[in-house]
Amino acid sequence: MAELEIIGVPQSNYVWAVRMVCEEKGVPYALKAMRPHTPEVDAVHPFGKIPVMRHGDVTLCESKAIATYIDRAFEGPKVIPDEPKAAAKVEQWVSLGNVEFDRLMMRQYVVGYAFPKEPGKPDMGAIKAAAEKMKPQVEVLDRAVAGGYLAGDSFTFADINILPMLFYVNRFEEGKALLASAANLSAYMARHFERPSFKKSAPPPPPAKS
């Protein structure tokens, strides 16, 4: 059988999510660490974004499409339910994750720290403004995970999609304090950050500063 290849830098929250799907289902895969807009990525994604996937003659871009393919093409626990109502709930939360939470939590807050416009000098005004905007999002998530999962009564791709985002937000002062103030969400994170699939697919820590 052809090897499943996940292509993209492991630090990407979306690469992490796709790898976590593989781990949840017990699907062997090879990770090719490629940055956005490299030739191998551009050959699959029309806008050079990661992750992309190769599996024999199948090539795919966009993490949701990749996750759906892996879930349907391979044996193992389903991360997107077959039942229409349950599947729609997962789709709903994945869409909210990609359109709302990622756009603010990752692209504004986390990226503000990790990739400041002026190296070594994060724009703290913009970061604190993003943290303030995250408050209603955290409240929404806190209510949603009161039952232990984001969509329904089992672990799904909705959870997989949001967990890397929460992990990165939790690395920085304002985000850590905000998440700690949400009791349901704090318990949810503590529980699922211990999942074997989360740990096995976690990116390596950044290199130590000399």
The pLDDT tens digits for 125-174 are 999 999 999 999 999 999 999 999 999 999 999 999 999 999 999 999 99
pLDDT score at 205: 74
Write down which residue in 41, 73, 105 finishes a domain: 73
CA–CA dist 79, 154 (Å, integer)? 9
Whether residue 115 is found in the same domain as residue 169:
yes
Whether residue 174 is found in the same domain as residue 109:
yes
In a domain, 62, yes or no: yes
Write down which residue in 52, 73, 94 finishes a domain: 73
Look up the CATH number of the domain holding residue 13. Answer: 3.40.30.10
The 3-state DSSP composition of the chain as helix, strand, coil percent (nearest 5) reads: 55, 5, 35
In a domain, 205, yes or no: no
Q: Pick the closest to residue 51 from 24, 22, 25, 80 (CA basis).
A: 22
Is it the case that residue 204 has pLDDT exceeding 50? yes
Residue the block writes with tokens 């997107």: 80
Give the range of the structural domain holding residue 168, as residue numbers without chain letter.
84-200
pTM (predicted TM-score): 0.95
CA–CA dist 126, 78 (Å, integer)? 39
pLDDT score at 184: 98
23 phi-psi bin (left φ>0, alpha ψ -120 to 50, beta other): alpha
Amino acid at 204: P
Pairing outcome for strands 4-7 and 30-32: parallel
Whether residue 41 is found in the same domain as residue 137:
no
Whether residue 66 is found in the same domain as residue 92:
no
In angstroms and rounded to an integer, the radius of gyration of the C-alpha atoms of the chain is 17
Decide: 166 and 110 in contact? Cβ < 8 Å: no
**Domain count of the fold of the chain:** 2
The rounded mean pLDDT for the chain is 95
Is it the case that residue 2 has pLDDT exceeding 90? no
Is it the case that residue 121 has pLDDT exceeding 60? yes
Whether residue 52 is found in the same domain as residue 97:
no
When pLDDT is cut at 50, 70 and 90, the band that residue 210 belongs to is very low
When pLDDT is cut at 50, 70 and 90, the band that residue 185 belongs to is very high
Whether residue 167 is found in the same domain as residue 63:
no
pLDDT score at 144: 98
How large a percentage of the chain has pLDDT more than 70? Answer: 97
Whether residue 117 is found in the same domain as residue 30:
no
CA–CA dist 25, 66 (Å, integer)? 14
In a domain, 208, yes or no: no
Sequence-distant (≥ 6) Cβ neighbours of residue 96 within 8 angstroms = none
Whether residue 43 is found in the same domain as residue 109:
no
Decide: 65 and 78 in contact? Cβ < 8 Å: no
Is it the case that residue 207 has pLDDT exceeding 60? no
Residue the block writes with tokens 């017990």: 26
pLDDT score at 120: 87
Q: What are phi and psi of 7, to 5 degrees?
A: -120, 125
In a domain, 95, yes or no: yes
Residue the block writes with tokens 């603010």: 104
Write down which residue in 53, 73, 93 finishes a domain: 73
Residues 42-85 have pLDDT tens digits of 999 999 999 999 999 999 999 999 999 999 999 999 999 999 99
In a domain, 209, yes or no: no
Whether residue 127 is found in the same domain as residue 67:
no
